[in-house]
């Protein structure tokens, strides 16, 4: 199958989210972990490259995304999608805007859109302001994110310091009038040299209109929900053959010990999910300060000593006060790195002990775990919750099932729900 849409995601959970929503259409989707080595081969119509660049230095993020773009171009991609979090996780320096601008330069395009809305998961944009449920972004739990605290809800104000070209808005009054009206608004902004356009969306119907209006742009940017309508639109346009839609059932993971959760996210939802899962699972809490003093040996010894068949959860998930205390003691970067390193080591140990069903909570944690497991490509399976599918991969000579969960996604019973999805029907 010829590659048509090439996607670049700034973290691993976001990449799985995007791949899962594209796969809802039945389209064949390849999820690549990092930029593949060598020239493109065995490509699908939709290729997603997962990077770990959300909180990287701006120059490193830009350089890595440009390498990913070249690989996708070499594979024949004609359209491109830059995927970031539905809560616009970023700093004043980037990396959302700088990467988008670099990709625009490489593609020779003079305008793109920004739409992280995901109504199914309670993310909406109105008059340029991002809402999480009924809360403005800056009043939501994202204000206390340990790495990218979001203290402004206005996407245009957030974007302006990150880019060098003008920023504008296509508000919902344009979107709700339909495809032609939105295209006219974008054309008017382009005539005024506005290169970066935030687009309002509060419903799935809004996203359908936006995707249809912008489907021929060389580059679109946003959350995964914006990309979900694209496969059907490309087929309707005749850009893709109908045979691009053909569902293939992914391989089931090998039999092995009970399920295991590795959680590094400290989001409000993940805290609730950990609390809901602990009564039915054996748990071990990872403390960054203790990890700095004695490493992950005690956690590894604990894991090896537990009955194999019992569900387990190893977690650094903590409330904002505990996170701040650890960051004050160790520094923000070191506290996070200690947790990532520990979860990566635990994932490898779990695999070597025979565990084949693993849920990872948190974008940075998912990146560390997936890299440690040596996973280079993943096949997308059943969706557990909106934006979170099971995926299947080879690691250490074994087939394993991985669910990479963004911290804010899923219901309180997500962990139990995820493993129930893998039970034979």
Question: Confidence band (pLDDT; 50, 70, 90) for 134?
Answer: very high
Provide φ and ψ at 401, rounded to 5°. -105, 130
Provide φ and ψ at 121, rounded to 5°. -110, 20
Alpha helices by DSSP H, 254-362: 268-277, 288-294, 297-305, 320-330, 332-353
Give the tokens for residue 174.
């344009």
Question: Residue 34 to residues 17, 226, 363, 375: CA-CA distances in angstroms?
Answer: 16, 22, 14, 9
- For position 242, what pLDDT does the model report? 75
209/272 same-domain check:
no
Neighbours of 350 (CB within 10 A): 25
327/231 same-domain check:
no
Best CA proximity match to 165, nearest among 246, 122, 105: 105
125/225 same-domain check:
yes
Q: Is residue 396 part of a domain?
A: yes
The SS3 call for residue 377 is strand
Please name the residue that has the structure tokens 């791949």: 19
264/240 same-domain check:
no
* Residue range 246-260: mean pLDDT, rounded: 68
What is the pTM assigned to this prediction?
0.83
Torsion, CA 385, CA 387, CA 390, CA 392, rounded to 10 = 170
323/358 same-domain check:
yes
- For position 425, what pLDDT does the model report? 47
Contact 315, 261 (CB under 8 A): yes
Residue 221 has pLDDT above 60, yes or no: yes
Q: Is residue 383 part of a domain?
A: yes
Q: Is residue 253 part of a domain?
A: no
Which residue(s) pair with 19 in the sheet? Answer: none
Give the range of the structural domain holding residue 78, as residue numbers without chain letter: 5-244
271/135 same-domain check:
no
Residue 250 has pLDDT above 60, yes or no: no
């Amino acid at each position: 199958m010829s590659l048509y849409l090439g996607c670049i995601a700034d973290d691993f959970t976001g990449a799985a989210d995007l791949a899962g929503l594209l796969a809802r259409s039945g389209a064949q989707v390849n999820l690549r972990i990092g930029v593949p080595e060598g020239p493109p081969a065995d490509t699908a119509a939709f290729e997603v490259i997962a990077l770990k660049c959300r909180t990287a230095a701006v120059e490193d993020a830009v350089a890595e995304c440009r390498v990913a773009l070249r690989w996708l171009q070499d594979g024949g991609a004609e359209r491109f999608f830059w995927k970031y979090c539905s809560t616009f996780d970023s700093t004043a320096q980037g990396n959302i805007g700088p990467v988008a601008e670099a990709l625009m330069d490489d593609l020779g395009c003079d305008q793109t859109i920004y739409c992280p809305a995901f109504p199914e998961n309670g993310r909406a944009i109105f008059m340029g302001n991002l809402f999480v449920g009924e809360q403005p972004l800056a009043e939501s739990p994202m204000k206390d994110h340990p790495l990218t605290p979001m203290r402004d809800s206005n996407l245009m104000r957030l974007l302006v310091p990150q880019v060098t070209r003008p920023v504008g808005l296509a508000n919902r009054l344009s979107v709700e009038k339909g495809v032609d009206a939105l295209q006219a608004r974008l054309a008017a902004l382009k005539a005024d040299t506005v290169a970066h356009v935030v687009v309002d969306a509060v419903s799935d119907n809004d996203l359908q209109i936006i995707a249809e209006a912008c489907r021929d742009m060389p580059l679109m940017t946003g959350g995964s929900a914006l990309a979900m309508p694209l496969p059907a639109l490309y087929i309707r346009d005749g850009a893709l053959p109908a045979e691009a839609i053909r569902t293939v059932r992914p391989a089931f993971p090998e039999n092995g010990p009970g399920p295991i959760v590795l959680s590094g996210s400290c989001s409000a939802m993940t805290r609730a999910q950990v609390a809901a899962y602990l009564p039915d699972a054996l748990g071990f809490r990872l403390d960054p300060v203790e990890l700095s003093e004695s490493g992950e040996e005690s956690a590894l010894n604990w894991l090896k000593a537990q009955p194999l068949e019992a569900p387990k959860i190893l977690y650094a998930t903590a409330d904002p006060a505990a996170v701040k205390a650890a960051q004050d003691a160790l520094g923000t970067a070191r506290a996070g790195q200690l947790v990532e390193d520990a979860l990566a080591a635990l994932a490898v140990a779990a695999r070597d002990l025979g565990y084949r069903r693993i849920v990872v909570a948190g974008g940075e944690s998912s990146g560390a775990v997936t890299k440690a497991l040596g996973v280079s490509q993943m096949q997308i399976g059943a969706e557990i919750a909106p934006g979170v599918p099971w995926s299947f991969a080879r690691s250490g000579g074994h087939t394993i099932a991985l669910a990479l969960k963004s911290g804010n996604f899923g219901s309180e019973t997500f962990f139990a729900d995820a493993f129930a999805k893998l039970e034979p029907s």
